[in-house]
């Protein structure tokens, strides 16, 4: 996966943002809240991802003054490819460590994710 990221130009900060984008699009302010960072930081990442062709900005149908960020055609294809790679990696790991340990690993990772998630204060 690391090689794929290098080829695509994606940095770790980009990959942290992508899972927070809803299929129909997400306002940058919402992304900032989900990530626990400033709107300016999200804006910079979005600018870079738009320039790379992974994201696009569109008008929010609920508010003509607002913009949404959503995946471009290239972005949707990249996400699909990434999910396929992840699924293959999980299957290979499960084969090596067994299904029971894989379930335990998923639970441990979910608990860690919950601990590290920005608080909703």
What does the pLDDT average to over 38-58? Answer: 97
* pLDDT of 118: 66
> Are the C-beta atoms of residues 67 and 27 closer than 8 Å to each other?
yes
What does the pLDDT read at residue 113?
87
Mean predicted confidence (pLDDT) in 11-27: 94
CATH number of domain containing 71 = 1.10.10.10
Highest mean pLDDT, choosing among 5-9, 60-64, 68-72 = 68-72
Give every CB contact of residue 56 below 8 A, 6+ residues apart in sequence. 50, 69, 70, 71, 72, 75
Note the pLDDT of residue 2.
44
Number of structural domains found in the chain: 1
- How far is it, in rounded angstroms, from Cα 69 to Cα 17? 11
Say if 74 falls within a structural domain.
Answer: yes
In whole angstroms, give the CA distance from residue 48 to residue 12. Answer: 13
In eight-state DSSP terms, residue 118 is P
Q: Which residues pair with 69 in a beta bridge?
A: 26, 57
- Rounded Cα–Cα distance for residues 18 and 3 (Å): 18
State pLDDT tens for residues 101-114: 999 999 999 999 88
In a domain, 14, yes or no: yes
| Domain boundaries, position 50 | 2-116
In a domain, 57, yes or no: yes
Tokens of 105: 């690993």
pLDDT band at 7 (very low <50, low <70, confident <90, very high): low
How far apart CA 30 and CA 107 sit, in angstroms, is 27
Q: pTM for this structure?
A: 0.76
Residues above pLDDT 90, as percent of the chain: 79
């Amino acid at each position: 996966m690391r090689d794929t990221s290098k080829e695509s130009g994606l940095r770790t900060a980009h990959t942290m943002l992508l899972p927070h984008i809803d299929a129909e699009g997400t306002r940058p302010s919402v992304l900032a809240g989900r990530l626990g960072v400033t709107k300016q930081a999200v804006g910079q990442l979005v600018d870079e991802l738009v320039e790379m062709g992974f994201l696009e900005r569109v008008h929010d149908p609920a508010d003509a003054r607002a913009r949404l960020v959503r995946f471009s055609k290239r972005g949707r294809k990249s996400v699909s490819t990434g999910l396929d790679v992840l699924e293959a990696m999980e299957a290979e790991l499960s084969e090596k460590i067994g299904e029971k340990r894989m379930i335990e690993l998923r639970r441990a990772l979910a608990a860690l994710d919950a601990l590290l998630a920005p608080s909703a204060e």
